[in-house]
Amino acid sequence: MKIKRISFIVSLLVLFGVCFTIMNRHYDELARYPYVTNENREIILKYLSNDDINYMISQQLKPEQFLPFIETKNFTIRNTLWYTRAKELQDADHETIVSFINDFRNQLDYAKLETLLQAYSYETLRTFYEEDNPYLNHASIVMDPSSLLALIDESESLYRYVPKGLVAIDDLPHVSMLEGKSEIQVQEELVEPLRQMCADISSVNDKTCGNMILVAGYISYEDQLPLYESMMLKYGKDDFRSYWDYPGQNEYQLGYTVRFQPAGREVTRIDDHALNNEDSDASKGEVSEEEQLAAWLAENAHLYGFVLRYPKDKEKITGKEYQPFTLRYVTKDVAEQLYEQKQVLEEYQIKIK
């Protein structure tokens, strides 16, 4: 009886094993996947593991989302949504997209991917993430440099960002502060306000553009390098940031900041202590032409959508010394608010956050 019982149990185990083997052979990993077809079945089974297939099914990923990338080296099904979104935002070959997302996904924010890829190329971002910033430790990239109200935090960099709407200003008096360059570019939307302001300031002295010369608009990352070195020599390592910035942190790179210079002054002169000290005629009861121009800009720039970027008595907030001829375009509405409330852009940004 005991032998018969053992034989029966063994027979059941054998039968179970045979049945399991037969069932396993006929098991369809894709039976739960509603998008499987005769055309895509083979390639899915070829490139995806059981674990990948389970993930694909649980996330209900559609073939058109991952099949374009599935044969790409180092493709991973878990990054599918990132690949497809990146492809939509900035087209490139699949290998470029897959390697970029795989390498830097932990440093990216999916919700901000659109903003980031509208401003920077894959190549620029890869270089930024891979190279050490020579000026900032653990620098992060400015997420939305195209914003009219963009500010650059002390720990942020624009790196090699280039605005898309740049145009040259040829019909205003200009001499570029960049050695070897004559053209000055700005964002297109501030061209007409700039021209109108330049025409109206002539009322101060009946001179073209009030006898002011445009010396700076957009300044690229590359062009900032020699300027940074010259400012370091001019103002010293400890003080230069009161007048200038590290490459990649300079607002001129945004294309919304411009710098005028009264005719006859040094083109690369950034400090304006002359308006308060040695060149002033205030002690004689006279107001110099420079002071008249500075006063006009302080009172009227907002009418054209500009604000004084580094006004007097705001040095601790802006981190910069008084610069009455450095203007930032922010649109008329914002400029009016800042003018009425006697605020600078840093204070406005804190208020709207």
Q: What is the DSSP string of 187-202?
A: EGGGHHHHHHHHHHGG
Question: Is 253's pLDDT higher than 80?
Answer: yes
Question: Is 38's pLDDT higher than 70?
Answer: yes
Give the predicted TM-score (pTM) of the model.
0.85
The most confident of the ranges 75-89, 173-187, 227-241 is 75-89
Confidence band (pLDDT; 50, 70, 90) for 158? very high
Token look-up 């924010």 returns 109
Instruction: Specify the range with the lowest mean pLDDT, choosing from 16-20, 92-96, 218-222, 309-313.
Output: 16-20
Residue 351 per-residue DSSP state: H
Backbone angles phi, psi at 284, to 5 degrees: -95, 5
Question: Is 113's pLDDT higher than 60?
Answer: yes
Residue among 247, 222, 244 at smallest CA distance from 235: 244
Confidence band (pLDDT; 50, 70, 90) for 14? very low
Residue % of the chain over a pLDDT of 70? 87
Question: Is 129's pLDDT higher than 60?
Answer: yes
pLDDT score of 2: 58
Q: If you average pLDDT over every residue of the chain, what do you get?
A: 89
Confidence band (pLDDT; 50, 70, 90) for 137? confident
User: d(Cα 319, Cα 109) in Å, to the nearest integer?
Assistant: 30
Mean pLDDT of 32-59: 95
Q: What is the DSSP string of 20-76?
A: HHHHHHT--TTTT-TT--HHHHHHHHHH--HHHHHHHHHTT--HHHHTTTTTSTT--
pLDDT score of 21: 40
pLDDT score of 147: 94
pLDDT score of 17: 46
